[in-house]
């Protein structure tokens, strides 16, 4: 029976009430270093990892010869060296779309929190300045989703769900993606395609929904931030490395950005001296930080775990796995 090394913790299996196939041997290692992963995978058939950890490096992949497939719990697979996996004929699969609505809900919530200055209002009311902050925010002229021009960078499963929600709430939605959608899809989602730089220039809020790779690393830096209109908002539920962290801090300090919401830092978790954790009080009022929880709910975890185990079951039965991200359909020279 298959042996699965799972970096999805045992308590998540219990809380999610996910049924493990009878006879499967699930191992829950603790160490996440290269040597720890290699040792845990000795004699294992499958490796199940979470999107953020551990790092499945070329050295790891070259030293786990019994493993037939690496399954990622989540959509992001930037911690797996997929090129090295391809070289050793090892499929890498993910579970895309299972938390798309979850992240989309969070994105809209973050947008509303920034537009309505909820963090500032909460702090001031609790400090006994209810009347003062009420009058100040009324004079500011708080915005709403309806009528807001929102630009989506990436229109995959998550981006499409954000488009549906934002459009339903009355926003004007545009997008950029290297692979432009069919006209029918654009019409269904009520979105307009714009080239990358135009997307930045013509929207009041930009929301990032791209995978991290060599093309998206620091995709949003000083130049790109400067192209955004004064007072614009930036929401990043993607990887922290997609945004130049120091440049984002500078844009908040200067007041060029009206606000930013970040769910993932670079590095993640951020060290105490991270520029976004050391903003001035004024800039900090415009910054919303969360600990990589945009796609984390009990429901989404259960869906992702069920999908991951179903895919491992397919592979164990000799069937072609779903959602392979590195193009490998053979396992070290033999069919699955």
Domain extents in the chain:
3-98+298-335, 100-289
Helix (H, G, I), strand (E, B) or coil at 220: strand
Cis upstream peptide for 267 (omega within 30°): yes
Give the model confidence (pLDDT) of 180-202 as tens digits.
Answer: 999 999 999 999 999 999 999 99
Alpha carbon distance 177, 157 (integer Å): 12
pLDDT given at position 187: 97
Dihedral Cα 51, 212, 203, 249, nearest 10 deg: 90
Report residue 52's pLDDT band, with 50, 70 and 90 as the boundaries: confident
pLDDT given at position 299: 93
Give the model confidence (pLDDT) of 6-18 as tens digits.
Answer: 999 999 898 888 8
92-106, 137-151, 316-330: least confident range: 316-330
Span 43-47, average pLDDT: 95
Using the predicted structure, report yes or no on whether residue 271 has a pLDDT greater than 90. yes
Helix (H, G, I), strand (E, B) or coil at 79: coil
Alpha carbon distance 325, 244 (integer Å): 26
Dihedral Cα 147, 149, 155, 161, nearest 10 deg: -30
Using the predicted structure, report yes or no on whether residue 336 has a pLDDT greater than 50. no
Span 234-238, average pLDDT: 97
pLDDT given at position 51: 85
Please provide the DSSP assignment of 300-334 as one string.
HHHHHHHHHHHHHHHHHTTPPPS-BSS---EETTE
CATH of domain 100-289: 3.40.50.720
pLDDT given at position 22: 87
Full-model pTM:
0.90
Residues listed for the chain: 336
Q: Which residue has the tokens 């060296």?
A: 81
Contact 219, 213 (CB under 8 A): no
Q: Which residue has the tokens 């459009």?
A: 167
3-98+298-335 carries CATH number 3.40.50.720? yes
pLDDT given at position 310: 94
Span 229-251, average pLDDT: 98
pLDDT given at position 1: 82
Report residue 332's pLDDT band, with 50, 70 and 90 as the boundaries: low
Residue among 232, 166, 170 nearest 199 (CA): 232
Q: Give percent above pLDDT 90 in the chain.
A: 90
Contact 173, 190 (CB under 8 A): yes
Tokens matching residue 186: 């654009």
pLDDT given at position 58: 97
pLDDT given at position 333: 47
Report the chain's mean pLDDT, rounded to a whole number: 95
Span 199-220, average pLDDT: 97
pLDDT given at position 331: 59
Using the predicted structure, report yes or no on whether residue 334 has a pLDDT greater than 60. no
Using the predicted structure, report yes or no on whether residue 324 has a pLDDT greater than 90. yes
Using the predicted structure, report yes or no on whether residue 335 has a pLDDT greater than 60. no
Same fold, 3-98+298-335 and 100-289: yes
Alpha carbon distance 261, 162 (integer Å): 15
pLDDT given at position 103: 97
Span 216-228, average pLDDT: 98
41-50, 80-89, 283-292, 316-325: least confident range: 316-325
Span 212-222, average pLDDT: 96
Tokens matching residue 46: 């499958």
Beta strands in the chain (DSSP E): 3-6, 25-27, 46-50, 69-73, 92-93, 149-153, 172-176, 191-193, 205-208, 232-236, 257-262, 287-289, 330-331, 334-335
Span 260-264, average pLDDT: 97
């Amino acid at each position: 029976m298959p042996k699965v090394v799972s970096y999805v913790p045992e308590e998540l299996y219990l809380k999610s009430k996910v049924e493990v196939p009878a006879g499967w041997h699930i191992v829950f290692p603790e160490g996440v270093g290269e040597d720890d992963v290699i040792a845990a995978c000795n004699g294992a058939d499958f490796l199940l990892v979470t999107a953020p950890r551990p790092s499945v490096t070329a050295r790891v992949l070259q030293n786990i010869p019994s493993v037939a497939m690496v399954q990622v719990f989540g959509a992001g697979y930037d911690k797996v060296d997929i090129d090295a996996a391809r070289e050793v004929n090892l499929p890498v699969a993910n579970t895309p779309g299972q938390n798309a609505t979850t992240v989309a809900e969070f994105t809209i919530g973050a947008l509303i929190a920034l537009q309505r200055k909820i963090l500032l209002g909460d702090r001031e009311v609790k400090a006994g300045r209810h009347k003062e902050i009420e009058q100040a925010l009324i004079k500011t002229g708080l915005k709403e989703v309806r009528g807001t021009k929102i630009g989506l960078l990436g229109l995959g499963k998550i981006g499409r769900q954000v488009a549906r929600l934002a459009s339903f709430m009355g926003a004007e939605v545009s997008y950029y993606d290297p692979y432009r959608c069919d006209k029918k899809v654009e019409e269904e989602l009520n979105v307009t395609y714009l080239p990358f730089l135009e997307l930045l220039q013509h929207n009041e809020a930009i929301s990032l929904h791209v995978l991290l790779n060599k093309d998206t690393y620091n995709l949003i830096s000083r130049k790109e931030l400067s192209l955004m209109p004064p007072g614009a908002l930036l929401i990043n539920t993607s990887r922290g490395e997609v945004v130049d962290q120091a440049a984002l801090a500078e844009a908040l300090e200067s007041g060029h950005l009206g606000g930013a919401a970040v769910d993932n830092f670079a590095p993640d978790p951020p060290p105490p001296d991270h520029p976004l954790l050391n903003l001035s009080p004024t800039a900090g009022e415009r910054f919303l930080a969360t600990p990589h929880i945009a796609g984390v709910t009990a429901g989404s975890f259960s869906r992702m775990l069920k999908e991951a185990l179903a895919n491992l079951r397919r592979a164990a039965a000799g069937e072609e796995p779903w959602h392979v991200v590195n193009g490998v359909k053979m396992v070290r020279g033999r069919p699955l």
